[in-house]
Amino acid sequence: MQVYYLVTRSANGLPAPIVKGVPMAHQGSLELLTDPVAEALVGSANPARLAYTWMDGSPRVVPIWFHWTGDQFVLGSPPKAPKLKALAADPKVALTIDDNAWPYKVMLVRGRAAVELLDDVSPEYELAATRYFGPEQGPAWVSTLRGKPMARIAITPEWAGILDFQTRFPSAMGILRLHNGQSVVPAGSSAHLGCGLVRT
C-alpha cells in the first residue's frame, strides 16, 4: 500500500505544507472494491459498461444493469443475446461504472465471466431492477419476465481500479492539478508538486 500526501498551493503559488497523509491501495488491488468511491458507484442507478471481444476479435461494449454481490458483478441477459456466444469463446471482460458529476468517479474492473442459463429471472436481476426502477416499478417490470428463460452472467473481478480526480488520476494526465488548486504527490516522491499518478 502506498501513501499519498494531499498538498495544496499557497497564495503565491508555492507548495504549502503537507496537510494529510492518506493510505491508498494500489491500482489493480481488489481492496479497491471496498473503497468509498466503489461502494457509492455500485449502489447507484448508473449502468455498467461491459466490454468483451467479439468472435472476429473486434472489441464490443454494451451498457447493462448489474448487481454487486460483494464478490461478483451479476448481469442478466436474454438467452439468445449475441454476446453470450462471445463470452463462451472468450470469458475475459472489462467493466466500468462511472458518473457524470465533477469530480468524476469511475470504477474499472477486469475479470472473467461465467454464463448460466436459467428458467426464470435471477434473484440478482430482481435486485438490480428495484435499484434502477424503484421499489414499485422494479418488481412490476420483473413480473413481466416471470417464467421466461434468462442468462445469468457472473463476473469475478481479477483487477480493480478507481479514478476520482481528487486523489486518483489516469496515468496519462502526467503532472496533475485539481480544479481547486490542490495536487497529489506520492509519499517519498522527489517529483515536482502534482506528479502523483495512477496507472490504469
Question: Does the pLDDT at position 51 exceed 80?
Answer: yes
- Distance from CA of residue 106 to its chain's centroid? 6
DSSP string covering 134-199 = -TTHHHHHHHTTTTS-EEEEEEEEEEEEEE-SSS--BGGG-S---TTSEEEEETT--SPTT---B-
Q: Which three cell numbers stand for residue 58?
A: 473486434
For residues 4 and 90, the model is more confident at 90
Question: 167 falls in which pLDDT band (50, 70, 90)?
Answer: confident
- Report whether 131 contacts 137 (CB < 8 A): no
Query: 28-166: which CATH architecture?
Result: Roll (2.30)
Virtual CA dihedral for 95, 124, 112, 99, nearest 10 degrees?
A: 10
4-31 per-position pLDDT tens digit: 444 433 344 433 333 344 466 899 999 9
- SS3 call for 7: strand
Task: Return the domain boundaries, the chain.
Answer: 1-26+168-200, 28-166
- pLDDT value of residue 166: 87
**Residue range 76-97: mean pLDDT, rounded:** 97
**Residues 6 or more apart whose Cβ sits within 8 Å of residue 100:** none
Question: Does the pLDDT at position 83 exceed 60?
Answer: yes
Question: Does the pLDDT at position 187 exceed 60?
Answer: no
- Report whether 49 contacts 95 (CB < 8 A): yes
Distance CA(189)–CA(46), nearest Å, equals 36
Question: Does the pLDDT at position 114 exceed 50?
Answer: yes
